[in-house]
Structure 1
Amino acid sequence: MNRKTIEFLRVTHLDGPNIWTYRPVLEAWVDIGDLEDSPSNTIPGLYERLTGWLPGLIEHRCGVGERGGFLLRLREGTWPAHILEHITIELQNLAGMKVGFGKARETAERGIYKVAVRTRNEQVGRACLQAGRDLLMAAIEDRPFDIEGTVARLRDLADRRCLGPSTACIVDGAVSRHIPSIRLTEGNLIQLGYGARQRRIWTAETDLTGAIAESIASDKDLTKRLLKSCGVPVPDGRIAESPEDAWEASEEIGLPVAIKPVDGNHGRGVSLDLATRDDVERAYRLALAEGSEVIVERYVPGNEHRLLVVGPRVVAAARGEAAWVKGDGRSTIAELIDRQLNTDPRRGVTEDYPLNRILIDEDPAVSLELARQGVAPTDVPAAGQTVLIQRNGNVAFDVTDTLHPDVVETAVLAARVIGLDVAGIDMVAQDVSRPLAEQSGAIVEVNAGPGLLMHLKPAEGSPRPVGRAIVDHLFPDGESGRIPIVGISGSQGGASIAHVVAQLIACTGKRTGLACRDGLYLGLRQVKPGNCASWRAGRQLLMNRGVDAAVFEHDARSILHEGYAYDRCQVGVVTDLQMDASLAEYYIREPEQMYTVMRTQVDLVLPDGVAVLHAGDPAVAELASLCDGTVLFYALDPGLPVIDMHCAGGGRALFLHDNQVVVAGATGETPLFNLAALHPAMSGKPMLQPLHVLAAVGVALALDIPPELIRAAMDTCVSLPTPAIQTNY
């Protein structure tokens, strides 16, 4: 029976670093059936259909290493699993979720492949994978495919599931500093760093942003009063209780005035330069629809500016500009808006665009502005006649490099008065390259959680690295946000080693978490029984602000099924590469495949970290060459050639000599303690194997725990507790 189709046997999201890459991936086991006999160059029209639907495939370099590399492979002949990899990547890119990594590898079973693609969101990745399969089958079978509808659907899903641009740029800033991140919700709540050294952000708000400061900023009247009391220039004004009261306030303050909601945002309900009673009363109603109260202020002439203050610095500034149309004697104002303004490629309805499309029916402020000029959207202006559509328009024109020091100082003072560590300061001035006092400029709002898109994608000017600025504010002076992490991989003694390591670290005063097959521990207290050598349990430790250091046990199955809970580790231990027959389920059946799985622990060691490797297993010892950091060997036999060579080259090793635990290096050998002395302290507890002791002590040395503290801890503190079921929470 001819079976030319593509079937998914299994699709798994690997949440952490894995055998493919350091980042989360979607791994699909794919059965291509009889298509194994049909490489791409044997299917008429396949190349043309795929490149017609997905012209962006030309940018895929593939293994060729240059632009057009994948298309070369496609023309010469490649298999559907490989094609599916690239289609899935391209669909994610078209959905707005930029990725680039992918791999397709055949298994030992004919027609079955593993396809792995990087994805920033599991749901979007799965949707792109399924759509990619459908597109590829349509191309193979020469059937129509709705590429526009598919991309629109995927883009909508990505918009709903992925991080917003402000949050994403902060996460990208953390990546540039090698600071890890964890998404805590399906929204924009993000943890940067691990354990006790973590910080949290929610869009552009941080865990240093006080609730009181945020509440003050949301009350425009209170904000003004506090700023004025500290000498910050603000426009005079007061709360109005009704349209009639708004007009009375306008007369008291002096025309023209500005009217806005007290607790509005994003400029909604704001009307400027009002000079007639009719305009004031209509503006009052517009503002009340956007907030709980309405404030009337002296109108400050000039352009609106947004200054982004992060800590003690202004890191970006943008200017707003008015939007006008010019009549041609034939077109209505609505038609002119669409033709002269909305055709600007910088305008759109999503956050991808620095300028918003002007939609009259959805923006009452535009209708009010037109009414003030005595015109309607259906009117036809005379040729050459200009009509004001928006005052200031979008604040999206970068002016960071033009700021006068007085302007910078005033903005920073305003943020400090309110108490915000990250603030968007709305300032009205004719020219921010001059002092405010010279031009009667003023600060009209202070915003908590300011949007960052205007600085990331300005309509004109240079993008500003505002995400990195916020990360530098949260992690000053080179702080990494990392806690010491120890990963232990293998099938022999992992739990025993992990327990001893956790207790050795605890003896240094650090609050230590442990996730292993015996349970989840905080210190000596078991908080969850059962096998916790898993990604989910590991994340519990990394999200816990009370954890100063963490120890994780891994086996090959958890690595293959979930990936690691952390991105990198300070110390990585590999005990063995012993094959497990049950791993055949994952198509792991040969020693070299096991090597690929277990090497990942060494791959994750930080450049300033240490791999602790069992030198008595030649396959484990071979992993030393893969480590970005240094290597410490351990073995029972002191005479292993690999240890002699390692120490001669300046490395360190641990071994047993006459029952003494000895650390050796280029300068000689130093006894640490007698192994027999541990036995009384271990009375009534499961016996530690000498090899496990060596591995644990190796980790302690790798973490720079002093030898005398290791000796004292092993003599008095270290035990191997039998798992006891305690309260699970």
Structure 2
Amino acid sequence: MKIESLRRLRGPNVYLSRPAVVARLRLEELTGRETSDVTGFTERLLRALPGLAEHHCAAGAAGGFVSRLRGGTYFGHVTEHVCLELSQLIGRDVSFGRTVSTGEPGSYDVILECPVDESPESRVPGELLEAAVDLVLATHAGQTGGTPAARLEELAAFAEREATGPSTRAIIAAARRRGIPVERFDDLSLVRLGWGTRRRMAWAAMTDRTSGVGIDIAGDKHVTRRLLGEAGIPVAAGGAAGSPGEAVRLLRDLGGPVVVKPRHGSQGRHVALGLTTPGEVERACRDAGGDVVVERQLDGRDYRVLMVAGEMVAAAERIAAHVVGDGRSTLAELVGLTNADPRRGVGHSRVLTRLTLDAEALRLAGREPADVPADGETVWLREGANLSTGGTSRDVTDRVHPDVTRLCQRVAALVGLDIAGIDLRLPDIAAPLPPTGEDEPTAGVIEVNAVPGLRMHLAPVRGRARDVGDAIVRAMFPGGSDGRIPTVAVTGTNGKTTVTRLAAHLLGGNGRTVGTTTTDGVFVDGRAIHLADATGPRSAQQVLGDPQVEVAVLETARGGLLRRGLGYDWSDVGVITNITADHLGQDGLDAIEDLAHVKAVVAERVRDGGTLVLNVDDPWVRSLPGRPRVRADRKRLVWFGLDPANPVLTEHLGRGGTAYVLQDGWLVQATGARRTPLLRSAEVPGAYGGAAPHAVANALAAIAAARALGARTETVAARLGEFEPAVDNPGRGTLLRLGDVSIFLDYAHNPAALATTLRTLHRLWGTDRCVAAVTLPGDRRDDLLAASAQILADGLTRAVLYDDGDTRGRAPGEVSTLVEREMRSRRPLIRAARAEGFRDAVTTGLGLTAPGEVLLVIYEKWAPMRAFLEELGAVPAGTHPVLPSTPAVRAMPQVGRDLTGSAPMVSKSVTDHGHS
């Protein structure tokens, strides 16, 4: 049994709304075997992992998985549950798992939930799965030891290193409670909060508004004390020293005791307190690297006050690392007992840091590890009160005197930090500050910290925990903002790219910057920033993470959704154009119903109160509102379609709903009995005077999306009329002319899209004046290629076939041979030829095309095809290549005028699917 591959679903997906990993598992020697076939397997596994007895499995109650084990289940399923249990044992709280067959004997996909803030690049899921496979194989072989403790400890340490620290975790949690989107970068503490122009960045307790100058000031303890001292802030007397000699001179000037600390230090490292002799000062100076600050040690207690955006949000008394004797345990044992607290970890990964019984601790304690402190005796292990050296905290927020609050407000403003941790040495934080004057201060500020740790406030050992993460998020997003920008997600089989481009165009008025992802690339304000098939989650994140973007329109394709999940958590508008046969046989999709299940994810992730825009003419799309996970009752449902007599549509309008339909030659907004005309269908760009009704359907879908985000009817109609297909929608129904021959280019690559395109050409040129140069993608199933070939044979008398440059796993020439065979079977007298590459195919096709006829070109990649046609001298032909014989369209009132109470309008039903 082995793991063949592992992929991460970074966002909502077909399995659940949270991140997950999908592991392809091959059972090999265990294929066809079940747990009941192996004597003693269940008992050995339960001895190794007793927690499996609590797993529910499909039974929905504890013990369900054990019943499956005893009754017999396959070993992929066992690996899933073992991995979940190992995750729990290392403190990784996940519970969802599923194992499904890939259709091949002995091959399964194991789907496992991931913590929502785990790095997308984390190695932990893979390491856990490897450990699970090893344990299952060992148990099968008769071993009973389970996973070695050392391996579990290694996995736990690995997961802890990759996890966010308490400060970042608190900010993320507060943001999620507010509904603010969060995206973590790698395994860092850097997170993006919000989208587009509302995007903010945080790195632990530092934000994108934290002053770089303030950080540098706080990072230089000498500069900090001078700046504050000159402003009248009470600070300890002292100065900077660049050598042990200078440090000793400062000791003589100040008198003991003094504190020696690194000028640029942090986290209490190499801070020495209570020094009174030159030797102590020299040694401390050398230990700190020679560049130090020497200050007179102030009396009192250690306090930390957290300031956020000029407000005091938390205060804590800091208590140095120590243990309390019980009269029985040795010092070493007391340290071990203290470190057993699950809140303590290494470094800053947990809310408390483990104690270290090193030479410094033993010197301060005046004890040996084997000594037994008396019952109730406090043994101090560090002089400084930093949490990073094992200290603890006591919340004193409600005791802070107003004098102290005002002092800290001044300090944060003087240093210039939006978030600051101010360290104070005071007799009592609840008492008024001692008066300042000519005498040296006996209490005051001892340090200012940029990017302060939040642990002491989040989980004090005594006192109330403070939600300081929420305070930081409130400061970053004032007024209750959720940090989101309006977002549209578009999916479907055909028409996605066109609808996405149209919607972006309609929403781009009034100076708004729209970010768009499409099959051709990522665009911001109409400018390409990344050229590629950009319909997956990474591309969505490119747009949502761009601080210029005010509105996002995201084409969301099947492939990216299945392989990586969605690139967002919720959208405001979800558009589903149609669902028809394509990509079947890929990624576990065997039937259109499977494809509908995938497309439904976009509908499911429309937020409560958002708008779901659906094609009423498509039966599979019509079925989506009935799916439980779509929760259509919580969304605003808007239909679009070409048949105003559709029963679903009429019922919807009868309930006062809204739809966008084609009626009597007009694109109409219908709400209840009210009809508002928008634009004549003959004037829709790319519809070729009505010869391409699918272009009208695409326009209706885009209008519905734009109106859902508040675009005005007048603006939408005007913007739609300004859309230039050759410029704004290149390669989708694009018409060129070369001499007396028309060239029609499209990306149609499935039966429905090809049928729609050929119908358009027949309306314009007739049924016997069309030639085609066609390529079809090699990753389509043979039956889908055959169906496409039959559509071509029915609609053409002459065709040139060529293969994509990327054969997608097929042998060279395999696809064109299959298509030619199927075309000849359907139409024996068809003139069909094969060509090598798109250049040869277009040249041959032009040779078959007579003056006044049209060459349909189905391409693989738009840019090289466009460049080649420009080389040949092809030029844009406009939107009316011929004068089609069409009936006159009855006039309707001007755009924006309502027609209420009029007789129902009737138009012929057209159910063509749009294409990309």
Same fold, judged at TM 0.5 (above)? yes
Greater CA drift, 33-42 or 212-221: 33-42
Matches within 5 A, 1:264-413: 264-286=265-287, 288-289=288-289, 293-323=291-321, 335=332, 338=335, 347-361=344-358, 364=360, 366=361, 369=364, 375=366, 377=368, 388-393=380-385, 394=387, 395-406=391-402, 407-413=404-410
Find the counterpart in structure 2 of residue 456 from structure 1: 458
Greater CA drift, 463-472 or 598-607: 463-472
Q: Which amino acid aligns with 2:393?
A: F
Instruction: Tell me how far apart the structure 1 counterparts of residues 266 and 340 of structure 2 sit (CA, whole Å).
Output: 26
Structure 1 residues 650 and 308, CA gap change in structure 2 (3 angstroms): farther
Residues 395 and 457, structure 2, Cα contact 8 Å, conserved in 1 = no
Instruction: Tell me how far apart the structure 1 counterparts of residues 341 and 5 of structure 2 sit (CA, whole Å).
Output: 45
Residue deviations 1:295-329 (CA, integer Å, cap 9, x gap)? 11121222222222222333333322245568899
Find the counterpart in structure 2 of residue 87 from structure 1: 82
- Note if 1:476 corresponds to 2:473: no
Structure 1 residues 405 and 52, CA gap change in structure 2 (3 angstroms): farther
Shift of 1:526: 2.7
Greater CA drift, 53-62 or 16-25: 53-62
Find the counterpart in structure 1 of residue 603 from structure 2: 602
Give the one of 526, 535, 541 matched to 2:543: 541
Find the counterpart in structure 1 of residue 469 from structure 2: 467
Structure 1 residues 680 and 513, CA gap change in structure 2 (3 angstroms): closer
Give the one of 424, 428, 446 matched to 2:425: 428
Find the counterpart in structure 1 of residue 160 from structure 2: 159
Instruction: Tell me how far apart the structure 2 counterparts of residues 453 and 421 of structure 1 sit (CA, whole Å).
Output: 18
Structure 1 residues 301 and 74, CA gap change in structure 2 (3 angstroms): farther
Shift of 1:517: 1.1
Find the counterpart in structure 2 of residue 550 from structure 1: 552
- Note if 1:721 corresponds to 2:723: no
Count matched residues.
709
TM-score, length of structure 2 as denominator length: 0.71
Shift of 1:343: 6.1
User: What SS is found at the alignment partner of 1:565?
Assistant: coil
Residue deviations 1:463-491 (CA, integer Å, cap 9, x gap)? 33222322222112121121222111112
- Note if 1:650 corresponds to 2:633: no
Shift of 1:599: 0.5
- Tell me which of the two structures has the higher relative contact order, counting C-alpha pairs closer than 8 angstroms and 6 or more residues apart: 1
Residue deviations 1:136-158 (CA, integer Å, cap 9, x gap)? 22223322443312212222322
Find the counterpart in structure 2 of residue 54 from structure 1: 49
Instruction: Tell me how far apart the structure 2 counterparts of residues 444 and 427 of structure 1 sit (CA, whole Å).
Output: 6
Find the counterpart in structure 2 of residue 666 from structure 1: 672
User: What SS is found at the alignment partner of 2:250?
Assistant: helix
Instruction: Tell me how far apart the structure 2 counterparts of residues 448 and 502 of structure 1 sit (CA, whole Å).
Output: 42
Residues 354 and 396, structure 1, Cα contact 8 Å, conserved in 2 = no
Residues 512 and 523, structure 1, Cα contact 8 Å, conserved in 2 = yes
Greater CA drift, 89-98 or 607-616: 89-98
Structure with max Cα Rg: 2
Find the counterpart in structure 2 of residue 3 from structure 1: none
Instruction: Tell me how far apart the structure 1 counterparts of residues 369 and 20 of structure 2 sit (CA, whole Å).
Output: 53
Find the counterpart in structure 1 of residue 882 from structure 2: none
Structure 1 residues 88 and 379, CA gap change in structure 2 (3 angstroms): closer
Shift of 1:725: 5.1
Shift of 1:198: 0.8
Q: Which amino acid aligns with 1:448?
A: A
Residue deviations 1:70-93 (CA, integer Å, cap 9, x gap)? 445545554433332222223233
Matches within 5 A, 1:612-691: 612-625=613-626, 626=630, 627=632, 628-666=634-672, 668-679=674-685, 689-691=695-697
Instruction: Tell me how far apart the structure 2 counterparts of residues 618 and 345 of structure 1 sit (CA, whole Å).
Output: 55
Find the counterpart in structure 2 of residue 139 from structure 1: 139
Structure 1 residues 136 and 351, CA gap change in structure 2 (3 angstroms): farther
Residues 238 and 297, structure 1, Cα contact 8 Å, conserved in 2 = yes
Shift of 1:422: 1.4
Find the counterpart in structure 2 of residue 494 from structure 1: 496
Instruction: Tell me how far apart the structure 1 counterparts of residues 566 and 65 of structure 2 sit (CA, whole Å).
Output: 30
Instruction: Tell me how far apart the structure 2 counterparts of residues 411 and 313 of structure 1 sit (CA, whole Å).
Output: 9
Q: Percent same amino acid at aligned positions?
A: 34
Shift of 1:675: 2.0
TM-score, length of structure 1 as denominator length: 0.89
Structure 1 residues 79 and 476, CA gap change in structure 2 (3 angstroms): farther
Shift of 1:125: 1.1
Greater CA drift, 708-717 or 100-109: 100-109
Structure 1 residues 302 and 90, CA gap change in structure 2 (3 angstroms): farther
Greater CA drift, 652-661 or 256-265: 256-265
Greater CA drift, 556-565 or 599-608: 556-565
Instruction: Tell me how far apart the structure 2 counterparts of residues 200 and 316 of structure 1 sit (CA, whole Å).
Output: 22
Structure 1 residues 328 and 268, CA gap change in structure 2 (3 angstroms): same
Give the one of 100, 113, 117 matched to 1:105: 100
- Note if 1:239 corresponds to 2:253: no
Structure 1 residues 647 and 323, CA gap change in structure 2 (3 angstroms): same
Shift of 1:601: 0.6
Shift of 1:266: 0.4
Give the one of 691, 698, 707 matched to 1:701: 707
Shift of 1:390: 2.0
Structure 1 residues 567 and 356, CA gap change in structure 2 (3 angstroms): closer
Shift of 1:615: 0.9
